[in-house]
Amino acid sequence: MPLPYVLLSAAVSLDGYLDDTGPDRLLLSGPADFDRVDEVRASVDAILVGAATLRADNPRLLVNSPRRRAARIAAGRPEYPLKVTVSASGDLDPDALFWCTGGAKSVYTTDAGADRLRRAGIASGGTGAVDVVALGAELDWRRLLEHLHDVRGVRRLMVEGGGTVHTQLLQRQLADEVQLVLAPVFVGDPGAPRLFGPGRYQGGRLRLVETRAVEDVVLMRYEPTAPGVGERAVPADRHWLRLACDLALRCPPSRTAFSVGAVVVAADGTELARGYSREAGDPAAHAEEAALAKIDPMDPRLPGATVYSSLEPCARRASRPRPCARLILDAGVRRVVTAWREPDTFIEAADGTGVLVGGGAEVVVLPEFEEAAKEPNRHLLDGPPA
């Protein structure tokens, strides 16, 4: 099921704290960064905070700039993004600013929490509609995100805290981007809240995509590099698939075979090998085959790796005894990301995906890269091969 793009946003002290233990909120950044956050808020469909943040900070979660709100309206969007909070217990203050400002609001909770919220009158109070969504006996982040995407139409979700929410989303590999602001202060209080809590983080190293000074703080933007869960894509998938499409442009032209690029990437984001069709002068070489041939078949990283291919790996071929879908399975790889399902130009009813899925692999298709994958093959698609 498709999920929103999830952006985690937070500011921390140099020693990793979100706040101190004083009665007032510790302001870690200044006016320029607050304006940057306002710009990000204006760009998203929804803003989410956890119940602890709602209780501690009493945030309004508004787009403050009239110009940005006007631009949202001109684009046919609501003046304010949907405001979302999550509370298993349903123990929320009905007088919080969250309910009294902005537009629509949603609360995701458990069955028991929903009963408590209704008794408190939250489901019907405030300015704008308040939608209480019960997820069952326990909170389920994937179901929550699916509901936001499918029912509320949320494509971009900004998560502003707190540390528990950020931790859970990262540990479940449900975050697509981390925007972290580092403030030049120390808190030094072990009782103060930290950004990330203990637990098992399954992803590898994050990939730094931007560093920028904003007055006296530093903004760092990171993207996860580990594969997504199920049929979910992460930004790293787009990075590597774009590279595979670029590699396809290097293929020697052919009237009897597609031009394809492929990259094999370990779970920690390390590139293991790359290849492209007809590489090194071999007229029969396929991209996935060329890339896998460069990796030691005993490499322990292969079972956790992902093959990125601009075209669906082949299910049948005349030039070699094993098609690429079978080569991938035999190598132990169980995840493939591709841009374009193979047309019937050379092979009727081509179904590399069926071979891969039948062998226990997961296949993710990113159709936004289909045109890039087709580009070096236009001469084959515009008419029958010569």
Is the model more confident about 76 or about 382? 76
7-62 pLDDT, tens digit each: 999 999 999 999 999 888 889 999 999 999 999 999 999 999 999 999 988 999 99
Residue 64 has pLDDT above 50, yes or no: yes
pLDDT band at 124 (very low <50, low <70, confident <90, very high): low
For the chain, list the domains and their CATH numbers.
Answer: 5-223 (3.40.430.10), 235-381 (3.40.140.10)
Report which of 168, 160, 151 is spatially closest to residue 2, judged by C-alpha positions.
151
Distance between CA atoms of residues 28 and 218, nearest Å = 11
Task: Take residue 9 and report the two structure tokens written for it.
Answer: 């946003």
Q: Which helix (H) or strand (E) holds 112?
A: helix 111-119
pLDDT band at 382 (very low <50, low <70, confident <90, very high): low
Task: Take residue 299 and report the two structure tokens written for it.
Answer: 């490499």
- In the prediction, which pLDDT does 326 show? 96
Report which of 2, 143, 156, 25 is spatially closest to residue 86, judged by C-alpha positions.
143
The answer, as to whether pTM is greater than 0.75, is: no
User: Cis bond leading into 269, ω under 30°?
Assistant: no
- In the prediction, which pLDDT does 236 show? 80
Residue 338 has pLDDT above 90, yes or no: yes
Return the top range by mean pLDDT from 233-242, 290-299, 350-359: 290-299
Distance between CA atoms of residues 25 and 28, nearest Å = 9
pLDDT band at 228 (very low <50, low <70, confident <90, very high): very low
131-177 pLDDT, tens digit each: 999 999 999 999 999 999 999 999 899 999 889 999 999 888 888 88
Strand 46-50 with 105-109, pairing: unpaired
Which amino acid is located at 365 in the chain?
A: V
Is the model more confident about 317 or about 187? 187
Task: Take residue 221 and report the two structure tokens written for it.
Answer: 């933007």
